[in-house]
Structure 1
Amino acid sequence: MRDAATMVRRNMRHTVRNPGAVIMTIALPVVLLLLFVGVFGDALSAGFGAAAPGDDYIDYVVAGILLMTVGYGSTITALAVNRDMTEGIIVRFRSMAISRTAVLTGHVVGSTVRTMLGALLVVGVAVALGLRPAGDPVRLLGAAGLLLMMTVALTWLGVAVGLAAKTPDGVAPFTLVLQLLPFLSSAFVPPEAMSGPVRWFAAHEPFTPITDTLRALMLGVPVDHAGLPAVGWCLVLAVAGYLWARALFSRDPV
């Protein structure tokens, strides 16, 4: 735990010294929120009829923006881990009398804290723009817990991708997937408003049940059938990312 705390402090100091990470994790999601609410909100809400034009679209879109915040945070983690691997600091850590798991734990905990702070800022801006969460405290805590689960899951995947990639360019496909999947889900419009093949994909990809559950918990509406798939996807992604990262990190360096 002492070694992990040291690595968390290292990760947070790197964040402070890296304005790009702060912009990607915190500022960019806020810009996207302002863009979709202020520029596209009326057109999108009028087009699919799920919300009245105007401020009500923000009730629909905030959950998707929060998941995009998580996605951006995990891509920053993947790049940070890859930089540690390619610049040789991981080799140095392997030779030191510290816990090997502390290195990965430092990245995961630091990224999770950074991402959740970014999500809190997004919610604050959304409230200023007109969001009024209608869920009771228990449901709001459930929404925060689900968002935390998704953050941990995607962060472990980001760590694994960073370990697996040979260069920073190798992280690009992971970044592209996390940027694209929210747009092919229920984050910005319901799947029913999409064309046939895209509608089918949106209905079955992981971001859709997670977005729907997060939105329902925040707005105080029934979760229905999306709750169990949302938790299941978070657990599957977290376990897969953790096991993959541990296996890659346990390999002897070539």
Structure 2
Amino acid sequence: GHVVGSVLQTIVSVVLVGAVGVAMGFRSTDASVLEWLAAFGLLALFALAFTWIAVGMGLGSPNAEAASNNAMPLILLPLISSAFVPLDSMPGWFQPIAEYQPFTPAIETLRGLLLGTEIGNNWWIALVWCLGLTLLGHRWSKAQFNSDPK
């Protein structure tokens, strides 16, 4: 129930942020309704994946304070992706870190869907990341919940 609530809360947040972006002047170049739905679906899948990972981190925490802080490092992942700086302009040693993490293919897919840039194979890499993290987080959370002596 908490996971569904969190994902719904994230979806509402995405819709609100999107509405503010449109109100401020964001215009998708030639995105069709199907591309907008695909972008929304990818964001919902991403929310589900990272919610399950956060649940696993929370269940593995010794107390409520630690549970609320354990997932904080996940906030840094978009900062070390291609969200703000193109991969080819990053230092050579840093490019593999930015390229091979979940946010970069998702961001490049969203750009492709909404702005018409090249998606390449980023769409299926983002999908695999989402499904893999969802499965991992769900199994990890379920195992911790079932082994909890409380």
Same fold (TM over 0.5): yes
Bigger helix fraction: 1
CA contact (8 A) 2:3 2:51 kept: yes
1:131 equivalent to 2:23? Answer no
CA contact (8 A) 1:161 1:171 kept: no
Identity of aligned residues (%): 40
CA contact (8 A) 1:202 1:208 kept: yes
Give 1:231's match in structure 2, choosing from 102, 127, 136: 127
Q: Which runs of 4+ in 1 moved over 6 A?
A: none
- In 2, the alpha carbon distance for the partners of 1:205 and 1:252 equals 31
Other-structure match for 1:122: 17
User: Any residues of structure 2 matched to 1:81-96 within 5 Å, and which?
Assistant: none
- In 2, the alpha carbon distance for the partners of 1:118 and 1:170 equals 22
**Number of aligned pairs?**
148
- In 2, the alpha carbon distance for the partners of 1:252 and 1:163 equals 9
* Of 204-213 and 164-173, the range deviating more from structure 2: 164-173
Structure 1 runs not aligned, ≥5 long: 1-105
Q: Report how far residue 248 of structure 1 moved.
A: 0.7
Equivalent residue letter for 1:161 = M
* Of 213-222 and 147-156, the range deviating more from structure 2: 213-222
Equivalent residue letter for 2:71 = F
User: Any residues of structure 2 matched to 1:1-254 within 5 Å, and which?
Assistant: 106-134=1-29, 135-167=31-63, 168-175=65-72, 177-253=73-149
RMSD: 1.4
Instruction: Determine helix, strand or coil for the equivalent of 2:117.
Output: coil
Higher relative CO (Cα under 8 Å, sequence separation at least 6) belongs to 2
CA contact (8 A) 1:139 1:220 kept: no
- In 2, the alpha carbon distance for the partners of 1:179 and 1:120 equals 20
- In 2, the alpha carbon distance for the partners of 1:170 and 1:145 equals 28
Instruction: Determine helix, strand or coil for the equivalent of 2:121.
Output: helix
- In 2, the alpha carbon distance for the partners of 1:247 and 1:169 equals 19
Q: Report how far residue 171 of structure 1 moved.
A: 4.5
Equivalent residue letter for 1:216 = G
Q: Report how far residue 173 of structure 1 moved.
A: 4.0
Equivalent residue letter for 2:69 = A
Other-structure match for 1:58: none
- In 1, the alpha carbon distance for the partners of 2:3 and 2:148 equals 22
Q: Report how far residue 166 of structure 1 moved.
A: 0.6
Equivalent residue letter for 1:148 = A
